[in-house]
């Protein structure tokens, strides 16, 4: 494996910044939708939405480049910083300043991510697990996400936003796993192996579904619920899949080290929720 953690971190940071820009643009498109509009149809009629979508696609491309050099356990925590990058971009577009509390939580988020990456020192595992493991993991994902979709259908707007956000995060977590699989397939088997294999097509399907569900969550009417859910669920799902499917591991051997990792993960979750809610509150005010 062509591992280079510094390059993985660099491209992951670029990915986080690009994704943040695309998210801000699509949020603004969603905020201009009327209640009686069909969300996706209203979105695709806006040139800004397409610009935001291109930004998101570029961000995913940079994420794939990052995964070529590092593990999911390195790349995914850094991608959480996209929320931190969203703050100044959103503030500039809304004509406001970033508050002291936002700055504090952003610093805590940065420190937590740094601890996970530096102290954890993630290592790679099996880049090509057996097909039966893939089928099992993907099957579980389809069942769980399908159940959430059915459950959300008849719920209120606030609950729908939360559930659609969680669904989006779950799909993006699987998308991160498939991105890693595509990178490894291309590196080991070349373009012919990539085109004839199943990994690329699973990646494209997940990307399309994830984009549609994400736009539904943006238009559900409660961004304070959808944004934290999708931002937190994605790395947690990706972490779990990296461990379960690819055999990636944190190189932590002491109880103090694991305690520090748990604290960092808790702070990352808390900071993400706080920043998401504050950014939405500022926007509403």
Percentage, residues of the chain above pLDDT 90: 12
Q: Quick one: tokens of 222?
A: 């409660």
pLDDT value at residue 143: 92
Mean of pLDDT values over 155-184: 86
Domains of the chain by residue range: 5-284
pLDDT value at residue 34: 53
Q: Quick one: tokens of 66?
A: 């990052």
Q: How far apart are CA 155 and CA 144, in angstroms?
A: 17
Mean of pLDDT values over 127-136: 86
Question: Residue 249's beta-bridge partner residues?
Answer: 123
CB 128 within 8 A of CB 239: no
**pLDDT per position as a tens digit, 184-216:** 888 888 888 888 888 889 889 988 888 888 777
Mean of pLDDT values over 217-243: 78
Mean of pLDDT values over 114-131: 84
11 pLDDT band (50/70/90 cuts)?
very high
259 pLDDT band (50/70/90 cuts)?
very high
**pLDDT per position as a tens digit, 19-45:** 888 777 766 665 555 555 555 556 666
**What's the gap between Cα 282 and its chain centre?**
23
Mean of pLDDT values over 88-106: 76
273 pLDDT band (50/70/90 cuts)?
confident
pLDDT value at residue 263: 94
């Amino acid at each position: 494996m062509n591992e280079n953690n510094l390059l993985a971190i660099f491209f992951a940071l670029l990915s986080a910044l690009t994704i943040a820009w695309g998210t801000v643009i699509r949020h603004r498109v969603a905020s201009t939708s009327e209640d009686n509009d069909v969300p996706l149809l209203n979105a695709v009629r806006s040139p800004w939405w397409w610009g935001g979508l291109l930004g998101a696609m570029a961000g995913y491309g940079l994420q794939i480049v990052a995964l070529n050099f590092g593990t999911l356990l390195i790349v995914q925590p850094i991608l959480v910083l996209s929320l931190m990058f969203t703050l100044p971009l959103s503030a500039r577009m809304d004509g406001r300043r970033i508050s002291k509390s936002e700055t504090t939580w952003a610093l805590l988020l940065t420190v937590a991510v740094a601890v996970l990456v530096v102290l954890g020192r993630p290592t790679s595992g099996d880049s090509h697990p057996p097909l039966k493991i893939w089928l099992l993991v993907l099957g579980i994902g389809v069942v769980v996400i399908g159940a959430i979709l059915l459950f959300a259908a008849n719920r209120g707007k606030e609950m729908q936003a939360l559930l659609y956000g969680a669904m989006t995060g779950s799909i993006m977590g699987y998308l991160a796993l498939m991105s890693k699989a595509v990178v490894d397939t291309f590196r080991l088997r070349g373009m012919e192996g990539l085109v004839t294999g199943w990994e690329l097509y699973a990646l494209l399907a997940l990307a399309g579904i994830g984009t549609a569900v994400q736009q539904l969550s943006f238009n559900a009417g409660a961004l304070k619920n959808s944004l934290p859910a999708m931002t937190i669920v994605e790395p947690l799902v990706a972490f779990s899949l990296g461990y379960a499917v690819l055999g990636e591991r944190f190189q932590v051997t002491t109880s103090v080290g694991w305690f520090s990792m748990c604290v960092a993960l808790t702070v990352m979750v808390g900071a993400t929720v706080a920043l998401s809610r504050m950014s939405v509150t500022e926007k509403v005010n």
